[in-house]
Homo-oligomer: A and B are copies of this chain.
Amino acid sequence: MRENVGMFQNLAVLGSGLLGASLMQAMKAKGLCQNAYAWSRREETRRNCAAQSWCDGVFDTPAEAAAAADLVVICVPVEHIVPTLKDIARALKPGTIVTDVGSTKQLIVHRAAKLMPEGCHFVGSHPMAGSEKTGLDHASDELFTGRACFVTPLSQTDPEATARVAQLWHELGMSVTQIAPEAHDEIVAHISHLPHLLASVLCDSLASKDTHWLDYAGGGLRDTTRIAAGAPALWKEIVSQNREEILRAMQAFDQHWKRLQEVVETNDMDALEHILANGKSYRDRLS
C-alpha cells in the first residue's frame, strides 16, 4: 500500500450501509487507511460485512470498534448519530478524529462538541453521495467520486482535525466545501430536503388519482419523482432534525407556487413564460 499524507491507520465505520460500506471500500482502494473495521446494529449486516475483502474486522459494539481506530466515521441514520457518539465517547483513544455523514449538521455538531473527550476531535461531514438505494449490497468505491461534500467545523474545532477530514473527502474525489453547520443546514434545506418533499408530495397527490395513469408516465415524471422512493423513516428524521430551515425553504417555495397558481388562474401567459424562463435559466446552470 502506498503511503499517503492524509492516511489513517485504522478506520472504524459505525453503520456499514451504503455510505459506510462504500467508504470502507474507497479508503482501502485508495490506500487511505491501513485497516478498515466496522460495526453495524444488525448481526446479519455484521456477518455480511465481515465476509467482504475490504473489511479487516467487525466488532460487536460501536465502542469496541471506535477504540480500535484513529478515524471513526459514524454512518448510522441521523437520529442515531448523537446516541452513537454517547456510546463511544469514553472508549476513544486520545487523538482520535470522529466524523459523520449525516444530512443535517447544526444539532449534531453542537451536541458532538460537548460529548467529545479531551484530546479527541469531532468534525462534522456531509458527503452528498446518498441514493434512494440503500444497504451494503449497493456500495461502491466510486460512490463519492465527483460529488459535493460539506465539512462543518465550529470555531473551536481543532484546525488540523478539520484539515485531515476535508483532505480525506478530497482524496475520495469529492468537491469539498468548509462551512458553518447553520449555513449548511440552510443550503441543504433548499437544494436537497425541499426537492425531496416536493417529489414525495407529488407522488402522494398522484396516488389519490387513478393509479393506472402510471402506465403512461414519461421520463419527466420518472425523473422528478425518483427521490420519493427514499426511505420514509430516514427522511422523517432528516426533516425532524432540520425542521426550522426546511419550514423556511417551504415557505419561500410556497410564495412562488402561489404566484404560479395565480398566473395560471388569471391566464397571464406572459407572466407564466417569465417564470418558466427564470426556472430554465437556473436549471441550465446545473448542466
Residues of A in contact with B (beta carbons under 8 Å apart): 128-131, 147-148, 150, 175, 177, 187-188, 190-192, 194-211, 213-233, 235-236, 239-240, 243, 246-247, 250, 252-257, 260-261, 264-265, 267, 269, 272-273, 275-287
Which of the residues B188, B192, B211, B260 comes within 8 Å of A282, measured between beta carbons? B211
**Do residues B190 and A206 form an inter-chain contact, with CB atoms below 8 A?**
yes
**Do residues A201 and B247 form an inter-chain contact, with CB atoms below 8 A?**
no
**Do residues A279 and B148 form an inter-chain contact, with CB atoms below 8 A?**
no
**Do residues B214 and A285 form an inter-chain contact, with CB atoms below 8 A?**
yes
A178 CB to closest chain B CB, in angstroms? 12
Which of the residues B129, B191, B222 comes within 8 Å of A221, measured between beta carbons? B191
Given contacts A191-B216, A267-B243, A276-B236, contact A283 B131 (CB under 8 A): no
Give chain B residues whose Cβ lies under 8 Å from the Cβ of A203.
278-280, 282-283
Given contacts A128-B218, A222-B286, A228-B282, contact A190 B213 (CB under 8 A): yes
Give chain B residues whose Cβ lies under 8 Å from the Cβ of A216.
128, 148, 150, 177, 187-188, 191
Complex Cα–Cα for A225 and B282 (A): 10
Complex Cα–Cα for A131 and B223 (A): 12
Which of the residues B187, B207, B269 comes within 8 Å of A281, measured between beta carbons? B207
Which of the residues B175, B215, B243 comes within 8 Å of A264, measured between beta carbons? B243
Which residue, of A191, A283, A286, has the highest number of chain B Cβ atoms within 10 A? Answer: A283
Which of the residues B150, B177, B208, B224 comes within 8 Å of A224, measured between beta carbons? B224
